[in-house]
Structure 1
Amino acid sequence: MAREQIKVPYGYEPPAHSDKGTVLVFETFEDWTAHEMSACIAWAEERKFVRVIFYPQHEETLRRMDIRSEMPYYARLKHLEQLMEDVDTQLQVEVDKWEGKRKKYTPLDTSLNFLTEKSPGPHFICMSDRYANLFVTYPSFKEWIKKARLVIFTQFRVPLHGKLHDCAERWETVDFGNGV
C-alpha cells in the first residue's frame, strides 16, 4: 500500500491534542433525572473529556458503604440506560456493568483499579458529596487523590469531610441539580 504525501507549510506544527481523559461517575443513580444526566454530560463536554463511564454499584457494595438504595441493581441499571437514550453527545458515554456480573461486594479500590486500567487517563472521579465523605475516610484515599482528580457534585448538600481540605488543589465541586 502506497503512502499518501501531505503538503504542509514550512514551520507547521500540528495542534496540541486538547481532549482530556475519562470521567468515572460513581453513584446509585436511582434518583437521577434527565436534567442531572444532561448537566453531567454538558459539564464533561465543556471540559473536553473523551469518555464518561457511569458506574452503578451493587446493593451489597452500597450496603457495606452504609448507603441506602431502594431499587435493586438491575432496576437502577435499567433506569440509567433509559436516561442515556435521550443524551445527544459526541462523547463516548457508557455504563460499566462489571459490578453486576460480580454480584457481590466490590471495594471502591478494586472498582477504581479496574476502570482506570481499561480507560485512557487522566482520570477524574466524579461522585456525590455523600460518596466523597466516605471515600476520604478510606486508607487508600491518599494514593487515589494523587492519581486522579476528584469532582464532587453537591447532590445531598451535606458538609464535606475535613480531610478534603488537606488536598484542596486536587478536587472541586459542581452542581448538576441547578445546571452547570
Structure 2
Amino acid sequence: MAREQIQVPFGYEPPEEKRKGTVLVFETFEDWTEADVRSLVDWAENKSFKRLIFYPQHEETLRRMDIRAEMPYHARVKQLQAYLEEVDTALRVEVDQWEGKRKKYTPLDTSLTFLTDKSPEPHFMCMSDRYANLFVTYPSFKEWIRKARLVILRQFHVPLNPQLQAYEGRWEVIELGNMQ
C-alpha cells in the first residue's frame, strides 16, 4: 500500500496535546451507581486527563485482600459497562477485563505494571479509602507512589492509614458525590 504524502508549511509544529495522563480506577464497583461513575468521569474530564480505565478486580483477588463481593466479576463488569454507555464524554473511557481473563488472584503490582505499560503517562491510581489503606501496607507501595499519584475516593469513610502522611504530597482525597 502506498503511503500518502502530507505537505505542511515550513516551520510547522503540531499543536501541543492539552489532555495528558491516565487514571486507573481499582475497585469492586459493586456499590457504585450511575451517578458515581458519571461523577468520576466528570472529575477526570475537568482535570483534562486523556484516559480513564476502570479495573474491576476478580473475586479471587478480592478474597485475598479480605474484601467481600456479593456479585460475581462478570456481573459487576456488565453493570459498569451499562453505566458507562449512559455517560457522554470526550474522554477515552474503558473497562479493562484482563483480570477476568486470568480468572485467578492477580497481585496489585502485576495489575499496575500491566496497566501503566499500555497507557500514557502521568499515571494516577484511583481507589477507595479501604483499598488505599490496604495498598499502603504492601512492600511495593513506596515504589508505586513515586511512579504514580494516588487519588483516594472517600467512599467508605474509614480513617486513612497514618503511613500515608509520609507521602502527603503524592495523594489527594476526593468525594464521589461532589468531585471538583
Q: Does structure 1 residue 109 correspond to structure 2 residue 109?
A: yes
Q: Does 2:47 correspond to 1:47?
A: yes
1:141 is aligned to 141
Equivalent position SS for 2:50: strand
What is the CA distance between 1:17 and its match in structure 2? 2.9
Q: Distance in 2 between matches of 1:47 and 1:5?
A: 32
- In structure 2, stretches of 5+ residues that fail to align are none
2:66 — aligned with what? 66
The structural deviation recorded for 1:4 is 1.7
CA RMSD of aligned residues (A): 1.6
**CA–CA distance in structure 2, aligned partners of residues 57 and 3 of structure 1:** 45
Runs of 4+ in 1 over 6 A off after TM superposition: none
- Residues 71-111 of structure 1 show CA distances to partners (whole Å, capped at 9, x for unaligned) of 01011111111111101000110000000000000000000
- How far 1:22 sits from its partner (Å)? 0.5
> Structure 1 pair 141/6, CA: closer, same or farther in 2 (3 Å)?
same
TM-superposed CA distance for 1:16, in Å, is 4.0
Tell me the equivalent position of 2:89. Answer: 89
Q: Is the partner of 1:45 in helix, strand or coil? A: helix
Residues in 2 aligned to 1:39 and 1:2: alpha-carbon distance in whole angstroms? 43
TM-score for the superposition, normalised by structure 1 = 0.93
Assess if the C-alpha contact under 8 Å between 1:155 and 1:177 holds in 2.
no
**AA aligned opposite 1:144:** W
Write the letter of the residue equivalent to 1:101.
Answer: K
| Structure 1 equivalent of residue 8 of structure 2 | 5
Is 1:174 aligned to residue 177 of structure 2? no
Task: Find the aligned partners of 1:46 and 1:76 in 2 and give their Cα distance.
Answer: 26
Q: Deviations over 1:53-85 (max 9, x none)?
A: 000000000000001111010111111111111
Deviation at 1:21, TM superposition (A): 0.8
Pairwise mapping of residues 142-157 of structure 1 onto structure 2 (< 5 A)? 142-157=142-157
Structure 1 residue 129, shift from structure 2 partner: 0.3
Evaluate the alpha carbon distance shift between residue 49 and residue 60 of structure 1 in structure 2; reply closer, same or farther with a 3 A threshold. same
Percent identity (aligned)? 66
Deviation at 1:19, TM superposition (A): 1.6
TM-score (norm 2): 0.93
Unpaired runs of at least 5, structure 1: none
Q: Which amino acid aligns with 2:38?
A: S
* Contact map agreement 1:25 1:126 (CA 8 A) in 2: yes
Q: What code does the residue aligned with 2:19 have?
A: D
Shift of the alpha carbon at 1:20?
1.6
